[in-house]
Amino acid sequence: MELHDKNLKEILSHSKLELPFPDFENRMLEKIQDYEAKRLQAEKNRFFSHVCFLVGIILGTVLTYLMNKDFDWSQITFLTKENYYFLTQIIYVVLIVLFADKLWKLSKSDIKNLFK
């Protein structure tokens, strides 16, 4: 039994790794902790981007409705009420499509690959 233990100790003594720098382990642990903190922050930001997008859609719809409802059309002679409705709706739809595209890409992106 002692011979087996001696052989095992000898084999294990050859398996020791020499670290390239004295603080190598500490730096690797710091990198792992930084990566995890960034990953958690990215997931939190992804959630808030969805919330802000939905709030923006709701507020944009309400604001467009209120602006069109209380707007004095006698001040503008070159733009009719129907054209103004059309113009504001086109701008609103274009912005929704652009932001939805960005949000879709963010949702489909892999957070793990963002910080490499």
Range with the largest mean pLDDT of 4-8, 10-14, 74-78, 86-90? 86-90
Looking at residue 80, its pLDDT comes to: 72
SS3 116: coil
- pLDDT single digits (tens) 7-60: 777 777 766 666 667 777 788 889 889 888 888 888 888 888 888 888 988 888
Contact 112, 46 (CB under 8 A): no
Residue among 61, 115, 49, 106 at smallest CA distance from 88: 61
Domain extents in the chain = 19-113
Q: How far apart are CA 49 and CA 108, in angstroms?
A: 13
Please say whether the beta carbons of 71 and 84 come within 8 A.
yes
Asked whether the beta carbons of 115 and 35 are under 8 A apart, the reply is yes
Which of the two residues, 105 and 78, has the higher pLDDT score? 105
Q: What angle do CA 81, 84, 90 make, to 5 degrees?
A: 145
Based on C-alpha coordinates, what's the Rg of the chain? 30
